[in-house]
Amino acid sequence: MNHTPIALFIYNRPEHSRKTLESLVNNSEFADSSLYIFCDGAKSEKDIDSVQATRELIHSYELENAKIIESKHNKGLAQSLVDGINYIFREHDRIVVLEDDCVSSSDFIHFMNTCLSNYESNERVMNVSAYCPPIEIPEDYPYDIFFSYRFSSWGWGTWKRAWKNYSRDPHMLDIIEDSSVIKKKIDRAGLDLYPMLKRQVNGKLNSWAVFWAVNIIMNDGLSISPVRSRITNIGHDGSGTHCRTDEKYNVQIQNQKPRKISFPESIIPHERIVKEYYNFHTGTLFKQMLYHSYHTYFKVINSLTKYI
């Protein structure tokens, strides 16, 4: 099997980083993988000690297959991650990405390698996610993966041919607002996605992931998700950059030996699973109504200002 390089991004959480790294090391295919660990610099003096402690922890493992890249200054999660991905794509054609709060199952690397190999030449498949939210999968669904309009950034992978579409151009918000067709495609992935992009463009959010999610949709791409999650996020304890204390996303991962993965015969999202995924991210009907009222109001205001 063609093993994919793994990029791990850490900052100032030694205990989270330890759990994430140990779960990786416990993967049966870890020794055959190249690991790149990107360490961001301290943002302020109060972070120096925790940043140093995290780096010392990483070095203590003395992994022969690991390359550690330490930044002298703080880039922030978004820039650090994008720089790290571009760094790996200078020499490789695909990548697996983990942040320091993503604890993986023992067959995580096998799952990622298998999916990335199986869909390597299919241009429409742009992303492989290892996390699946706690949604209800139909009992009669016979496969180990499903196709989604929405990707998860908690343990994911992609190809160089897909990442070339990644853009953080704020003008994509104007494109979406001027096209009802594109807007419907964005909303199909969850009514929370468009407001997140709007917050990002307005400087109220610092996320690389919302751009990647929207880029995939605008290029009519799909993401793979597992029926059984290979990732559990331990960052919902208030310590993460974007993750608040929240149990909504909690899942149980099972450690088992790698096995053959059953893939769907066609690349078509399953209607019932898409609806479950949509409902999970969109929330209650009341929230949906508020969102539509908010969007309609500002659409009218924007139209009127053109004539002022």
pLDDT tens digit string along 188-241?
999 999 999 999 999 998 889 999 999 999 999 999 999 999 999 998 765 544
pLDDT value, residue 16 = 97
pLDDT class for 69, splitting at 50, 70, 90? very high
pLDDT tens digit string along 153-188?
999 999 999 999 999 999 999 999 999 999 999 999
| Contacts of range 196-200, beta carbons closer than 8 Å, 24 or more positions apart | 197/172, 197/173, 198/173
pLDDT value, residue 1 = 61
pTM here is 0.88
Asked if residue 261 has pLDDT above 70, the reply is: yes
Asked if residue 296 has pLDDT above 80, the reply is: no
Amino acid code (one letter) for 259: R
| Mean pLDDT across 96-109 | 97
